[in-house]
Amino acid sequence: MRRREEIPYLTALMFVMNLSVVLFYAVVVFATTARICRSFTAYDFLSTVRQVPDKPWVMPTRSLISYGFLTLVSFAKYRGRLGGKYLSGFICVSEIALCFATVASLNFYYTGVALLVLSDLTHYIQNPRVRLGLMIPLSLLFALGRYEIASVFVARIPFGAYLNYYSPSVRGYLAGIESVLVSWNVLLFVYDMILLFTSQREENARISRLNLQLKEANQRLRKNAVELEHLTETRERNRLAREIHDTLGHTLTGIVMGTEAVSAIFDAAPEEAKRRIEIVHKTAQEGLEDVRRSIKALRPDALEKRSLEKALEELITNFHLTTSVDIDYQQDAGGLDFAGDEENTLYRIIQEGMTNSVRHGHATEIEIQITREGNLLTVRIRDNGLGCAELEEGFGLRHMEERLGLLGGSLAYGNRNDDSDDEQRGFYLIASLPVRGREGK
């Protein structure tokens, strides 16, 4: 990557070096022609070259204008990020044409501009076939002047004729400058090509490493996707089991307790028994609908039709009517307006807590208290039942913990007489839940 970053600076240096060469030839030809005209030695010069040279200003003007346009086109295509198939082709043709114009303006004294254009277009064009196609005309152009082939096709005054006009010391000095400038341009071109191919090799190696990393990442992603699918299936299965357990357990407990109460009072109070049968029937119907909704949407039907506060009040009232259990319900948390998953969890915890108190503890009194401090909501459920001789986490308690755990909450439970602040018999559970509120949906 570091080598690739050096290429733009090297290309700019090559443009400056070629400008120096163009200026060298233009200045020497201009100065020599002007000096010949002033010294009245034109006859001797013409008899040597046997050709009338152009006016002194012609070569510098043409060569510098052509080279200036070549520089503008080259830098404009990078600065403006010019792209597209046809536009790229037009840029390549334009640069090659300006290269030919510059070399022709210099009477083919210097064809190193072809190496500059070849290097520049090689960086710009990525297609290997197009690159090879560009090398052919530019290499031919370089050979025309390098090996004096142009003299066969174009009538021109050799550059050596201008140098012969000077004394041997000056001629040697100018020839040395020419040799150094031309040699440096060739060396820069060679170094530029080495950087280009080295950077491409490194880029190919980097792409190979990235492809290998991408392949490994895809394999890990597929593995993680399979694991996530299995985990999602397990969570969904457990959640569905919790919903059905909570709904059926609560409903069936109410039906059992309700039918037992009806059987006890059927002969003594037929009207009261009939009323309780209707309540049991209504509870069974709601439980059935709740099971259907649990399977379909995993949300209690009561929460679909009412707010959490109203749904809890109706849940507690119906449970009291079907089981004859006295329930002391205190709601000290303010408005119960939470996100959907939080409402489901709170509803199911209170529902399961009451069911367990009656089913396992045979309680006749249940205390339910909801409080809130900041964003922490706490639900306390206590009963006067039998408690547990050995605390074993059953299906209901485990699913309560799972529900709360998914929302960042926690569950504590145990026998009341195990608590130093409570000497009464029975069971308690405390559910703590950090609530997000309605905006957290």
Tell me what pLDDT residue 217 has: 86
CB 297 within 8 A of CB 279: no
Per-residue pLDDT of the chain (441 residues; tens, 9 = 90+): 455 566 778 888 888 888 998 899 888 888 888 777 777 666 666 666 666 666 778 888 888 899 989 888 887 776 655 555 667 777 778 888 888 888 888 887 888 888 888 887 777 777 777 767 777 777 777 766 555 555 555 566 777 777 877 888 888 898 899 889 888 888 888 888 888 778 777 777 888 888 888 888 888 887 787 677 667 666 766 766 666 666 666 666 777 777 777 777 777 777 777 777 777 777 777 766 766 665 554 556 667 677 888 888 888 888 888 888 899 999 898 888 888 888 888 888 898 888 888 888 888 899 999 999 988 999 999 998 888 777 666 667 887 888 888 888 898 888 887 655 666 788 889 999 998 765 444
410-415 sheet: strands from edge to edge? 326-332, 365-373, 376-383, 427-434, 410-415
- Would you identify the CATH topology of the domain 229-440? Heat Shock Protein 90 (3.30.565)
pTM (global) more than 0.85: no
Closest CA to 438 of 370, 341, 352, 371: 341
Closest CA to 11 of 68, 51, 71: 71
Tell me what pLDDT residue 393 has: 67
Question: What is residue 127's DSSP assignment?
Answer: -
- For 12-32, what is each residue's pLDDT tens digit? 888 888 899 889 988 888 888
Q: Report how far residue 148's alpha carbon sits from residue 337's, in angstroms, rounded to the nearest whole number.
A: 93
Q: Report how far residue 414's alpha carbon sits from residue 117's, in angstroms, rounded to the nearest whole number.
A: 87
3-state secondary structure of 48: helix
CB 114 within 8 A of CB 142: yes
Sort 70 into a burial class: Cβ within 10 Å, 0-12 / 13-18 / 19+: buried
Our CA angle for 430, 432, 435, nearest 5°, is 150
Maximum separation of any 2 CA atoms in the chain, in Å: 151
Closest CA to 379 of 415, 356, 354, 406: 354
